[in-house]
Amino acid sequence: RIAFVRVCSGKLERGMKAKLVRTGKPMSLSAPQFFFARTRVTADEAFAGDVVGIPNHGTLRIGDTLTEGEEILFRGVPNFAPEILRRVRLGDAMKAKKLKEALHQMAEEGVVQLFSPEDGSPAIVGVVGALQLDVLKERLNIEYTLPVDFEMSRFSVCRWISADDKAELHRFI
């Protein structure tokens, strides 16, 4: 997998060590790449404004920050409460594991939000608009060979809740 990263300030050099702020762990940028149509070129250095591809195994997520020094935190991509909740129905039960992996990847990419009920029932996808369901259905079919349909969920609304007092929030939940 390749994560596309914009250099916001300073200079990125091949082989440099950067800190992934979300986890606090160091990350080696050993093979950053520039993309020109179908051609990949190793990026020996990149400057503010450049977009480079960083090969990784799912370590980097949307909104992550890499830094060489300060722990800079950007706001990232806004996360809206979904208006539509649906259960994904798969025709072939033998592909359930493949569907689970595909849904997790789609959620990482921001295509949908994925909710796993605590009772162990199948996951629910949440979207802001119906077009996202169409995109999910098409991508699952084309990229993963998973023809799916959607069915109503037993839930009709999803909202984020918060409290200043963690104990109060825990009692509420």
CA distance 133 to 52: 30
Is pLDDT at 133 greater than 90 in this prediction? yes
Confidence band for 102, pLDDT divided at 50, 70 and 90: very high
pLDDT at residue number 76: 64
Is pLDDT at 131 greater than 90 in this prediction? yes
Is pLDDT at 4 greater than 70 in this prediction? yes
Sheet with strand 25-29: strands edge to edge = 25-29, 16-20, 66-67
How much is the average pLDDT of 82-87?
93
How much is the average pLDDT of 142-156?
92
More confident residue, 71 or 162: 162
Q: What is the largest CA-CA distance in the chain?
A: 55
Positive or negative torsion for Cα 7, 78, 83, 60:
positive
- What percent of the chain has a predicted confidence (pLDDT) above 90? 51
Is pLDDT at 97 greater than 90 in this prediction? yes
Spatial contact of 57 and 67, defined as CB atoms under 8 Å apart: no
Q: What is the mean pLDDT of the chain?
A: 89
Is pLDDT at 91 greater than 70 in this prediction? yes
More confident residue, 9 or 138: 138
Set out the domains of the chain in order of their start, with CATH numbers: 2-67 (3.40.50.300), 84-152 (3.30.70.3280)
